[in-house]
Structure 1
Amino acid sequence: MTKSGVYAGFILSIFISVPVVAQYAGDAFRYSEINQTGTARFQGLGGNHAALGGDASTISGNPAGLGFYNRSEFSISPAVANINTDSRYIDRLTTDGKSNFNLSNASLVISSKPGFQRKWKRSSLGISFSRQQSFQNRFSYSGLNNKSAYVDKVVEDADAVGWKDKDYEDEYADNNQSIQYLDHAYYYQKMIYPTKFVSTTEGYGPPYARDDRNNPTDQTGEFESKGANTQWTFTYAGNYDDKLYIGGSVGFNRIKYSYFHTL
């Protein structure tokens, strides 16, 4: 491509906009944290397989480690995940949890016969399925709610206006029994009320209070999610004279996540 073409493409990229689809910040954190999972031996060693080799977990972590194999192998590693959660809403603590049985790793290593008379001693083909992340979660919460930020804002507006009972009644009559402002609507629905007596002619006035503050409601919610980030990996490795171990892998990820949240 000529320089003029490069310059033209750069200018067009500045003035041409293309719609893109993004994700929530929570999704970015959720999918970016990969857990190192593998065989039972790998997990028993605390995830240290890079230097050891000779383990099926190296298919996805250190492909060259398959060069240590001198015979074929099949391994399967089931797992159990226990989830316990504590949720605090207002003044109430709720505990919840669930157990999940899943397949952490399943691997197949096909190794060639050793060739003691040649430099390339052996080669191995590895196929593995691994569960990189688990999105299993559950929690619930409940509490008596005597707070409402929106109604509190209405109370602030009513206090700022400073109208009394008679002011609301006169305004209602002057506007042919129509409501003009939000705090007026809450007043006529008896969701806010004046608390200070002014006079026999004007009735009560500010400060105002919420009616539901003395009638708290029991609010509950429940959240449950499921899914996983799984990976299929295909690896080929070779052993050169028991001195050089070389390998490469290709992985295919699948992310499945679903949840429901009731309020």
Structure 2
Amino acid sequence: MKKLFLCIGILSISFLNAQDISDVIRYSQQEIRGTARYRALSGAFGALGGDLSALHVNPAGSAVFLNSHGAITLSSQSINNDVVFGNDLNPFNNFRNTSSTNINFNQLGAVFIYDNYNSESSGINKISLGLTYDQTTDNKDEFVVLGTTRNSIDDLFLADAQGIQLGLITPRAGETIDGLYAFLGENEGVRAQQAFLGHETLIIEANDLDDPTGTGYSSNIASGVFDQDYIYESTGLNGKFTVNLGAQIDQDFYVGVNLNSHFISYDRFTEFFETNNNTGSAINEVLFTNRLSTIGAGFSAQVGAIAKVANILRLGASYESPTWYSIEEETTQRLETFSNANGTAIVNPDVVNIFPEYTLRTPAKYTGSVAILFGQQGLISMDYSFKDYSSSRLSSDNNNDFSNLNSFVEDNLQNAYTFRIGSEWRDGNWSYRGGYSFEKSPYKNTLILGNKNGFSAGFGYAFEQFKFDVAYDYTQQKRNDQLYPGSGFSNSVLIENYTENITLTASMNF
């Protein structure tokens, strides 16, 4: 059983915890991965309603249902990452493709309709009550990096070690590796732990071995050429449970409100392997593994309205409040080196770093929608949503200072919009659908994360009170990932992501 040690949190834009701008984006972006009909129209449902996933765009959509309705959805997702290893030796010349597939139960819910037969006195024609679960993010991802570079992982440990006294990261008589690693985490933070790992595995060495107060270090890895392998794997999902209340007023106006309970489940594993045969190098192999586990819970609210302006035209508007998340995380590490002259050195602390809980406030979301209906034959629907990602904020009740990271978020993130358009046409019991979506990057520098484009198609068949729907959707987005963000090791990869989903929904009126 691993020992548990509480690490007093210090601000670190580091790969070791979720207090990082990339994770702010991960938990701020919510894409309802809902019913097949919703996905076939690329989610353009803000002025339509009448779909269980549509009420997450506009809560008033629940009151559009004519009858009580329930649905369940399964989705198969395929992820392809084309990875190019950018480095100083062979810039963007090391290509690798990684693909993975998984199946998710991503939607379940029901809306209950209560007609008001005395609507003349109140103006309320019906009331709707919705209870739903929807997956908002699939955290599964993986890619592999293979390449040759002149940059070594020693840069990471050197940068963290500079300024830390040698005596602090040297075990005293009777002190164990686990004990010192835990002590550093509790009292000094991530940088000291990294320095300790690098020193104990002989990657770095003090400039003055006899001065315990010395703070200067050099590398035992000689400069030259390095072969590097890097594996990234993440799993988990984010989702939300929603209680919805809606109403139809005077036949042509719909209103609604959502109360949302969110959750986060995210696990990440990385493994880095480096080899070299450089002349004078005392270390010839490095194997560095890290695991991160993140859980979180949050709350948000939504309000919305839909108006029938004419038989052919509907307009919609909705507001989603910020989500306030409470987030906890744990990490483990292992570092191993090999020397042709001296053999193997391993530091595998039997310690789980538990970081203090912190709060993330995501940006609010505003959506405007328009739908054109051609009787019972078909429709065209458009949504425009807006978020200010620079307004995201982190805070803590544990005396953690997030001012630097919040300033970094404000300086590097921007206002971003999403545009969705979808169409549906009916032929008897059959329905045929298609859609397109565009999502602007939340980063001011789109080389970090590019704009996202997607398209979708699908069909449905209805008989009596039952409906079966199928959808296919595809998205494409580029990003540039530093292997260890915020560290002294600058190697990065260019990733072009292609994601495909096939979604099946079974639903019924009752």
Q: Which amino acid aligns with 1:104?
A: N
Task: Provide the rounded CA distance (Å) in 2 between the counterparts of 1:180 and 1:98.
Answer: 46
Q: Which amino acid aligns with 2:246?
A: A
Match of 2:229 in 1: 220
Secondary structure at the residue paired with 1:53? coil
Instruction: Give the length in aligned residue pairs.
Output: 192
* Residue-by-residue CA offset, 1:145-196 (whole Å, 9 max, x unaligned): 5654969xxxxxxxxxxxxxxxxxxxxxxxxxxx9779xx99xx9x87xxxx
Match of 1:130 in 2: 134
Checking the alignment, whether the CA contact within 8 Å between 1:64 and 1:237 is kept in structure 2 is yes
Q: Which amino acid aligns with 1:105?
A: Q
Secondary structure at the residue paired with 2:52? coil
Q: TM-score, normalised by structure 2?
A: 0.34
Checking the alignment, whether the CA contact within 8 Å between 2:32 and 2:56 is kept in structure 1 is no
Q: Which amino acid aligns with 2:262?
A: N
Task: Provide the rounded CA distance (Å) in 1 between the counterparts of 2:146 and 2:230.
Answer: 6
Task: Provide the rounded CA distance (Å) in 1 between the counterparts of 2:33 and 2:151.
Answer: 45
Match of 2:20 in 1: 24
Instruction: Say yes or no: does 1:61 pair with 2:61.
Output: no
Instruction: Say yes or no: does 1:109 pair with 2:118.
Output: no
Task: Provide the rounded CA distance (Å) in 2 between the counterparts of 1:117 and 1:217.
Answer: 76
The 3 A distance-change label for structure 1 pair 116 and 48 is farther
RMSD after superposition: 3.1
Task: Provide the rounded CA distance (Å) in 2 between the counterparts of 1:129 and 1:136.
Answer: 19
Shift of 1:80: 1.6
Checking the alignment, whether the CA contact within 8 Å between 2:38 and 2:54 is kept in structure 1 is no
Find 2:246's aligned residue among 212, 215, 237: 237
Shift of 1:143: 2.6
The 3 A distance-change label for structure 1 pair 260 and 122 is same
The 3 A distance-change label for structure 1 pair 116 and 40 is farther
Q: Which amino acid aligns with 1:57?
A: S
Shift of 1:115: 2.3
Shift of 1:61: 1.8
Secondary structure at the residue paired with 2:251? coil
Checking the alignment, whether the CA contact within 8 Å between 1:87 and 1:95 is kept in structure 2 is yes
Instruction: Say yes or no: does 1:94 pair with 2:113.
Output: no
The 3 A distance-change label for structure 1 pair 61 and 180 is closer
Shift of 1:57: 1.8
Task: Provide the rounded CA distance (Å) in 2 between the counterparts of 1:150 and 1:255.
Answer: 33
Task: Provide the rounded CA distance (Å) in 2 between the counterparts of 1:257 and 1:180.
Answer: 40
* Residue-by-residue CA offset, 1:31-56 (whole Å, 9 max, x unaligned): 12222432211111121111112111
Task: Provide the rounded CA distance (Å) in 2 between the counterparts of 1:66 and 1:77.
Answer: 18
Checking the alignment, whether the CA contact within 8 Å between 1:96 and 1:138 is kept in structure 2 is yes
Provide structure 1 residue ranges, at least 5 long, that are not aligned to the other structure. 1-18, 152-178, 193-209
Q: TM-score, normalised by structure 1?
A: 0.63
Shift of 1:226: 0.9
Indicate the larger mover: 19-28 or 42-51.
19-28
Task: Provide the rounded CA distance (Å) in 2 between the counterparts of 1:56 and 1:123.
Answer: 15
Larger helix share, 1 or 2:
1
Secondary structure at the residue paired with 1:112? strand
In the TM superposition, what are the counterparts of 1:179-194 in structure 2 within 5 Å? none
Task: Provide the rounded CA distance (Å) in 2 between the counterparts of 1:225 and 1:39.
Answer: 25
Indicate the larger mover: 36-45 or 133-142.
36-45
Checking the alignment, whether the CA contact within 8 Å between 1:87 and 1:139 is kept in structure 2 is yes
Shift of 1:244: 2.5
The 3 A distance-change label for structure 1 pair 131 and 148 is closer
Structure label with greater radius of gyration: 1
Match of 1:166 in 2: none
Match of 1:206 in 2: none
Provide structure 2 residue ranges, at least 5 long, that are not aligned to the other structure. 1-8, 12-17, 156-205, 210-217, 273-510
Larger strand share, 1 or 2:
2
